[in-house]
Amino acid sequence: MMLLCLISTTSNAQIKHGLRDDQGRHIIPRGFVIVTNAGDFKSDDYVRMVRLGANFQVVRLELGRLSEFSGAKLEESYLHHLEDLVTLGKNVGVKTVFKMTVYGVDEFSWEALWANKNNEQTLYINAWKEVWERFEKEDNVIGYDVVNEPRKLTMDISYKDLTNEHLIPFYQKIIDESHKINADKKILIQSVFMNKGESIDNNQYAEITASVNRKNIVFSPHIYQNKEELVKPVMDRFDKESIMLNAPILIGEWGFPTFASTDTLLTGNLGQYKYRELYIKTAEVFDKMGVGSIKAWFSGNPKMQNFMAGGPSTWAIFSDKNAVGTIERKYITDIIARPYPQVIAGDIQSFMFNFATRILDVNILTDNSKGASRVFVGANRHYPDGFSILIGNDVVMIYDPIKSVGLEIQKSSKNFDSSNVMWDEAYQQLNITKWPYDKTIVNLKIVPGIYK
């Protein structure tokens, strides 16, 4: 079971966002949106996902395959497909969140959903019940993103009034129904997606100004910012909303889409260097806040959408035409797959990966009573020449890929047992079963090269 909560700030803790599992370990979620019509995923695809740093997946549901809306139909085979995706994730340590989209419904109307004159909200909730009941006892499914990018469209109403009078009551209704089935599952909530041409700080998501007043919720805003200087102001706004909601932030989608020309254009306004700079800036803001983040999409690029001024574009992180995809857009994926603390026995005080120096710097208030810790390193792309692990002032271990002998001790304290630190080459993870210093603040560094 995964327990999600807003981590309270103390005199020691600097990161108030984050999730907790049932052992009380501090979790930083990262992963990808999985599009259920993108093709058939295999176990190897999920290993690739883990080697990109994923420990979460957000599986995008289609309302048209789960409901009784016009043109829709409940498909038992679709529910089996969802079970397969959950199992594939579970086998490699990836948790699952489900997210509902309105695809597959004939002329879905947001205006009709809010008016609810023909019990549209009941139809919507009934579709969710098919998922809730199917995964009621599956601990690897930790929650549900219940309304994806809700809209105002033609309604003559302010975004604030739409949120307070329609969206929040609908959330409350959904949460109450979901918790009747399993109150341990978490509900992820978003804000209204503003109409085209309307935005706040170049961000198309309206502000939530009133509490949902329910337990076990997670604030899951999206950010598709293409102006570096506005990333932090938007995230600061989300931070204030999360405090008001009493919910941790898990960024449900992020990353400005790639234009067709970007794969060959190195420089220029929307060249690969610009994307790297923008993604690095966004990643740094995320990590300073300690928020989890889910990148759209873990898929190939069989076709592009054409609704932006820059021409055809996509959110796919792979450039090949296969639906699943294997050819990375490395100017994107190398940023996504940056090293970070995934699961920590204790409290993460701060962490940051410096892209220039390739140093991961983590400060942890350790607590060995909570179990083992895991750090994603991504050595295959960030440390091809090997890396060193520095724990406090007394412990240095090295990994030399040429020697292929695993971790080696270069320096240790008398209370350090090297068997408590293990390198998982297949998953690119560092596993620490016990910290050499307990209930104290410890600095962990992963640095490039071999320190001797």
Tens digit of pLDDT at every position of the chain (452 positions): 555 554 433 334 467 788 999 999 999 999 999 999 888 999 999 999 999 999 999 999 999 999 999 999 999 999 999 999 999 999 999 999 999 999 999 999 999 999 999 999 999 999 999 999 999 999 999 999 999 999 999 999 999 999 999 999 999 999 999 999 999 999 999 999 999 999 999 999 999 999 999 999 999 999 999 999 999 999 999 999 999 999 999 999 999 999 988 988 887 777 899 999 999 999 999 999 999 999 999 999 988 988 888 889 999 999 999 999 999 999 999 999 999 999 999 999 999 999 999 999 999 999 999 999 999 999 999 999 999 999 999 999 999 999 989 999 999 988 899 999 999 999 999 999 999 999 999 999 999 998 77
Please tell me whether residues 269 and 363 are part of one structural domain: no
Amino acid at 89: G
Quote the tokens at residue 328: 């990375």
Please tell me whether residues 70 and 112 are part of one structural domain: yes
Domain count, the chain: 2
DSSP string covering 37-64: TS----HHHHHHHHHTT-SEEEEEEEGG
Please tell me whether residues 353 and 329 are part of one structural domain: no
In the listed set 312, 338, 364, which residue is the last one of a domain according to the structure? 338
DSSP class of residue 65 equals: G
Domain containing 359 — which CATH number?
A: 2.60.40
Parent domain of 113: 2-338
Please tell me whether residues 65 and 159 are part of one structural domain: yes
The residue behind tokens 């600097």 is 14
Cβ neighbours for 106, distance < 8 A, ≥ 6 positions apart: 69, 70, 71, 72
Please tell me whether residues 395 and 414 are part of one structural domain: yes
Q: Identify each DSSP E strand in 139-249 by its residue range.
A: 141-145, 186-189, 217-219, 222-223
Please tell me whether residues 94 and 114 are part of one structural domain: yes
Please tell me whether residues 300 and 383 are part of one structural domain: no
pTM value is 0.95
| Long-range Cβ pairs for the range 17-23 (8 Å, 24+) | 17/242, 17/248, 17/249, 17/289, 17/290, 17/291, 17/292, 18/248, 18/290, 18/291, 18/292, 18/348, 19/248, 19/250, 19/292, 21/343, 23/345, 23/370, 23/371
Please tell me whether residues 75 and 152 are part of one structural domain: yes
Please tell me whether residues 28 and 124 are part of one structural domain: yes
Please tell me whether residues 112 and 39 are part of one structural domain: yes
Return d(Cα 63, Cα 46) in angstroms, integer. Answer: 25
Please tell me whether residues 34 and 94 are part of one structural domain: yes
Domain containing 310 — which CATH number?
A: 3.20.20.80
In the listed set 338, 359, 389, which residue is the last one of a domain according to the structure? 338
Please tell me whether residues 278 and 353 are part of one structural domain: no
In the listed set 284, 307, 338, which residue is the last one of a domain according to the structure? 338
Q: Identify each DSSP E strand in 55-206 by its residue range.
A: 56-62, 95-101, 141-145, 186-189
DSSP class of residue 151 equals: B
